[in-house]
Amino acid sequence: MKSVASPGRGILAIDESNATCGKRLSSIGLDNTEVNRQAYRQLLLTTVGLGEYISGAILFEETLYKSTTDGKKFVDCLKDQNIMSGIKVDKGLVPLPGSNNESWCQGLDGLASSCYDYRLSTAGLMSFVRMVCQC
């Protein structure tokens, strides 16, 4: 955790779903395609000097396994800048039946297996409902 808690550096949360990423793209007149999402995420994750200000990045699952247009994995781009990669492991909020507008988080079923698989993919952080822990 020491590298994530570095003074003057923060965590970049780019764990938005493909639908949310699509909203960002449509706001600048681009279609929500895999190619455009890759270009958007590549722009963010390969920014020169990013590691001076960011110590960890929480990614969406699609990003964890994708590469730049040159074939370099996004997680390796982060690693080269001394940025720990992480992954959002929850499946989002849904209404809690019988409650008064309360929600609960999906994704507990299969969580252990998912975290193990993500850890093998070099995700050093896991994010579950705004909680971050090192695995």
Domain ranges, ordered by start, for the chain: 10-134
> Contact, 57 vs 45, CB < 8 A?
yes
Q: Is 88 helix (H, G, I), strand (E, B) or coil?
A: strand
Q: What is the pLDDT along the chain (135 residues), one digit of tens a residue?
A: 456 778 889 999 988 888 999 999 999 999 999 999 999 999 999 999 999 999 999 888 888 889 999 999 999 999 999 998 888 777 777 888 888 888 877 777 777 777 767 666 665 555 544 433 333
As given in the structure block, the two tokens for residue 79 are 């690693």
Pick the CATH number of 10-134 from 3.30.310.50, 3.20.80.10, 3.40.50.620, 3.20.20.70: 3.20.20.70
What contacts 104, CB < 8 A, 6 or more positions away?
A: 93, 94, 96
Please tell me the pTM assigned to this model. 0.73
The identity of residue 29, as a single letter, is G
Distance separating the N- and C-terminal Cα atoms of the chain: 10
Strands 54-59, 10-14: parallel, antiparallel or unpaired by DSSP?
parallel
